[in-house]
A and B are shown apart, each in its own frame.
Chain A
């Protein structure tokens, strides 16, 4: 196992201790409620990263069809959707504590539901086509178009002032939005969760490449090349 994978154990353990012991109470929130942002914001960012990676590998597939790029595109979309679901759950828990309701149909909540439906349709599309080449080509094209909606649904629509969102405003990017302790823990959490994301991506791609190689071996006259993925 590579050293960075081992490093994740103490790193994220320290982040968790930092969340509960180092970061002080945030002003303007129910005591303790703001700490969920150390999990919620990295998940939200990784959701966007996953969908972006899916689009990049889909683009590469369309330029030069290659089964590994198709596997990587589907895996990145899966992890993006997983992070999207986790973001929704953690956001909903925060909403219950802060605003006494799990769901308010806030612009943020509405756009994330739309985003989940768009990527759920991606997997429905993949499941509905049997021919691997056709499936990969259609899924790659869908992934490209699906990503066009991501910047609007994540960054633009929830920030339209007229929509009057309850969601805490851009604390991450404003210079006076966060104290030093919050910045240290949050940026460390980004690295830690990014590491888990990379590890899951690496494992899932290696397993699927092996599965595909196994399927090639089952064929009587196999001419496909097996690509090794580094662990």
Chain B
């Protein structure tokens, strides 16, 4: 792994609202689950996720625009996430947080009715049919999201193709 990545990972450890827990499929639910409002944001405002947040452009910008909502960027790519996390830390954006984990494990981090809205912007298309379950907009993932979304959750999706079918998502 490059020195640059390692230094970014290390720097992220010092950011207050960045979480990089070591979790796998056999791990119990994380202590964050059901506790984002009380332990992280210290308020009861709605939580919005940016799934596959990359550099966290939406997490940071929306958090700045909507101080009465909480935003959490989730991705496994820490070197990219560092950019948004660093901005949020430097600008002391208290309603933005970042969670570095695999999306397959997301249910270990959010309790029932804990999330109000999900944004998905330019997800990895995973074009091979054999990897269709890895697509963040596949029914498998949507069903996972349902476990922690409120009764009438909303999704916002941006990408470069108008075919949102699980079998034809592409760049």
The reply to whether chain A is a binding partner of chain B is: no
Residues of A within 8 A of B (CB): none
